[in-house]
Amino acid sequence: MDAQAEADFREFVANRSSALLKTAVLLCGGDRHTAEDLLQNALIKVAGRWNRIDEPEAYVRQVLYRQQVSRWRLKWPHRELSVAQTPETSTTADAPSAAELRLVMRGALARLTARQRTVLVLRYFEDLPEADVARILGCSVGTVRSTTHRSLVRLRTLAPELAALGPAKAEQQPSQTNSPVEVHP
């Protein structure tokens, strides 16, 4: 890599790494350390090809998605959190704050499988159409649809308090507009 390309790469990393890290955190179910590793590995792969890349951010995101897919295709045992009692839900009439909803969403996403989480992040956080998600993940559109449906059902089961965000309330909270809880069957 020549000096100019290295300077361009460093500038890209400085300017876009926080946005890319947010996507990586969502892909990793809220595990920031794993997300940092995922992003770092993606940036290492991109650095070697920097001179040949036309759209750097799109390329890095593609590498992130593919690395995440590779991780959940491995035969690693899935870690699940078992609890003796279900968590208590709030009985107050007040709507949950945005911070509480983010924490609940992060916890629920962490309890989904990596495949389910990846599909939801691509569909609702990245706002990609089903055909693009299928192409990125190397599966059919039908697989994306069925995985999305099963993921949303499981997400609603894991975090029923997210139902407080109906379509009308979601429009009032712009930070939640791409949230998968907006989709109601």
| CA–CA separation, 116 and 65 (whole Å) | 13
**Do residues 112 and 151 touch, judged by C-beta distance below 8 A?**
yes
pLDDT in tens, the chain (185 residues): 788 888 999 999 999 999 999 999 988 888 888 899 899 999 999 988 888 888 988 899 999 988 888 776 665 545 555 566 666 655 554 556 777 777 888 888 888 888 899 999 899 888 889 999 999 888 999 999 999 999 999 988 888 877 665 544 443 444 444 444 444 33
Angle between helical axes of 141-158 and 130-137 (0-180°, round to 10)? 100
Q: Which two tokens stand for residue 167?
A: 């379509």
Q: What pTM value is reported for the model?
A: 0.50
- How far apart CA 162 and CA 164 sit, in angstroms, is 5
> Phi/psi at 39 (nearest 5 deg)?
-65, -40
Neighbour-count burial of 37, counting CB atoms closer than 10 A to its CB (0-12 exposed, 13-18 middle, 19+ buried): middle
Paired tokens of 15:
């300017």
